[in-house]
Amino acid sequence: MSESRSDDPEQLENNQSDQEQEFDDQQIDCVDCGKPFVWTAGEQLFFRDKGLKHAPKRCKPCKKAKNERLDAVMKAQEAGVKQRVEVIVNCAKCGVQTTVPFYPSQGRPVYCRSCFLVKNPETLPSDDG
């Protein structure tokens, strides 16, 4: 009993592009300057290799600027210098825009200087003779 059974010579040449993820250049709006920048296919591949799941948020100049900012903070901390922070907030009472030398915690009201003094009169120098 000889049964000549030829194996299916047809090659499986489908679903190749299904598995292999193709990268295309993507355009992303920078969160810092708002300008669109191109996230190239090569960079996407690099990100995937590094196991990074999130796309970059900043264009290269902004990323560099941010790194430099962080660097400066790091260096200042290493040198024991206190960074002077200035955070722009709106006063919880009068709504005026003001800057505070700290990062306000969420849900905590922040007051402008005059409202703060009204709330905390004991911080005023008592010179009302």
Element (H, E) at 65: helix 60-78
Does 44 participate in binding Zn ion (rule CB under 5 A)? no
Q: Which stretch binds Zn ion (CB under 5 A): 1-9, 10-18, 33-41, 68-76?
A: 33-41
Cα–Cα distance, 129 to 124 (Å, whole number): 14
Does 93 participate in binding Zn ion (rule CB under 5 A)? yes
Question: In a 3-state reduction of DSSP, which class is residue 115?
Answer: helix
* Distance in Å, CB of 108 to Zn ion, minimum: 15
Cα–Cα distance, 111 to 27 (Å, whole number): 40
Residue in 39, 3, 45 with CA at minimum distance from that of residue 20: 45
Cα–Cα distance, 47 to 99 (Å, whole number): 38
Q: Which stretch binds Zn ion (CB under 5 A): 9-17, 82-90, 100-108, 111-119?
A: 111-119
The one-letter amino acid at 63? K
Residues 62 to 81: which contact Zn ion by CB under 5 A?
A: 62
**Chosen residue from 94, 117, 118, 124 binding Zn ion by CB under 5 A:** 94
Does 56 participate in binding Zn ion (rule CB under 5 A)? no
Q: By the criterion CB under 5 A, which residues form the site for Zn ion? A: 30, 32-33, 59, 62, 91, 93-94, 112, 115
